[in-house]
Structure 1
Amino acid sequence: MSSGDAAHMAESAASIAAASIGAVQIGEDGKPLELSALKASISEQAEHVIEKIMPRKVIRLTELYKNSKTSSHDALEVVKNGALANRGVTQLLEVLKVEILELIQYLDVLKLWVQLNIPSIQDGNNFGVSIQEEIAGMLEAGKNSGLGFLDTFTKYYATRGKLITKLNKYPNVDDYHRGIAELDEKKHLLLRHCCLDLRNNYAVLFDMITKNKDRLEKPRGLSNHISSMY
């Protein structure tokens, strides 16, 4: 490549970059309008999650726990190929899968909302920022808890499938029947615990967010007086 070609390419690249920069519209807050629009949209979504979704989920998951059967032994049924399926476990599992996916979605919105409100780094008056970081960590922990439950669902089906395969091969071995029943019973108990765990995540996060909402939105907009976040 000649020096002239290189210079021409550099000039073209500079022109493209300048055009791109010129296309970015800046709002009154000094930030690109696209970012400001995103922040406004996330703030609106976060407000809806906090004020509407979280209280409803606390009630919903409490009712789901209370209404779930205390035992899974009476929920076995024969499905295709003669395999036994535990209707009580599978129904509760599918309901909770939806609940967990929704939890992850809502917590992602709330975490982004908190992060978009974190101010520039400054010396001093960072108490509000530390609260933002603390709650962002709690939101991430709640999300990871939900992902962990989803992983156990996959392992349950894999383990149960192996037992069903052995049961079909050795139908007269009582231990395989008992093994499946015990696996279902254990999974049912864990699913009921999952109901409470999801409920508690919503309740604790709702409590923490509402108590510190001003600090989350404007961490340096308050006085320098330091008080407890709990």
Structure 2
Amino acid sequence: MPKTMKSFRTKTSKEAEEILTNGMATVTKIEKAIAEHFPFGAGELSKAEASFRSDLETNGLDAANALLSTSIPAARDLISLGIYHIQVMERFISLNVPQMEDGNNFGVTVQMTVAKFLQETRESWAKKLDAIPAYYSSRADAVEKLGLAKTSSSQSKTESKSDSSGGKDGDASVTETKVVKEEKVSNGSKMGVYRLGHLLALDVQLYGELQSALLMLLDGYATVIDNMEKNKEKITSPKGTGPSASMGMY
């Protein structure tokens, strides 16, 4: 094996081992995030909606959702962390695949099975992140359609210059500057109950989706760590560890 690849393989092995060693700590971190940022449990989305409505009435209908303002980055960080950890595991498995030969391929089958599971899990997590930018776009449109009162201001500046020569004071140059400020207030339109309901529904929907995403992350991450630990021997030594085992790489 080239020296450069051996070094890279060693580095990847150490990183994968660290992830496995800290696997339970990461699972606990996900559990704490769910408890902290998603206080309304399964079957309590109506309570979440009531809380969101109260926040809007207190902070203004165009204010950001206070709970989601913290739960969105928390969920995004944890999901992206989980995706990265899986990518390390996938790399770790790939760098332990032996050279192709006849017979004794059960360990390779284990590697491929675990790798397929990792890929499917990673892709499902990545899709959960799509809900976040879509939420911001939809919520911006929903707030706009509430027809809230608006204040707009504008300022214009004009300058005029005149020159004169002669006269008792000699030559003269006069510059006149005029600044005009204008402020317009729109009283808005009567808000429809369904417009407000739509806004609240968007908040509740994302809350539910992110809560579900973190629960899926929790289950998936624990399963990933468990699979890697149970199959570690076959993953690292798919041909066995005896003197006849082939340790060549692709």
| Contact kept? 1:78, 1:85, Cα under 8 Å | no
Return the match for 1:74 from 31, 34, 51: 51
Distance 1:183 1:113 in 2: 40
Contact 1:72/1:88, CA 8 A, preserved across alignment: no
4+ runs deviating over 4 angstroms: 77-82
Partner of 1:142: 121
Aligned to 2:203: 184
1:133, distance to aligned residue in structure 2 (A) = 0.7
Check 1:113–1:79 CA distance in 2 against 1; reply closer, same or farther (3 A cut): farther
**Equivalent of 2:131, from 152, 171, 187?**
152
> 1:205 and 2:224 equivalent?
yes
Equivalence map 1:80-91=2 (5 Å): 83-91=62-70
Partner SS for 1:143: helix
Cα RMSD for the two superposed structures: 2.1
Compare CA radii of gyration and give the structure with the larger one. Answer: 2
How many residues get paired?
192
Q: Which has more strand, going by share of residues?
A: 2
Aligned equivalents of 2:110, 2:212: Cα separation in 1: 29
State the Cα distance separating 1:84 from its structure 2 match.
Answer: 2.7
Does residue 51 of the first structure (1) align with residue 15 of the second (2)? no
Percent identical among aligned pairs is: 23
Aligned mates of 1:167, 1:194 — CA distance in 2:
30
Moved more, 110-119 or 180-189: 180-189
Q: What is the CA–CA distance in structure 2 between the aligned matches of 1:130 and 1:118, rounded to whole Å?
A: 10
Q: Show structure 1 runs of 5+ residues with no match.
A: 1-30, 224-230
Q: Which of residues 31, 39, 42 is equivalent to 2:12?
A: 42
Q: Where does residue 163 of structure 1 map in the other structure?
A: 142
User: Which one has the bigger helix percentage?
Assistant: 1
TM-score (norm 1): 0.77
Give how far 1:72 is off.
Answer: 4.8
1:28-87, CA deviations, whole angstroms, 9 ceiling, x for partnerless residues? xxx1111000000000000001111x2112112122223322125324358999613111
Note if contact 2:96-2:235 (Cα within 8 Å) is conserved in structure 1.
yes
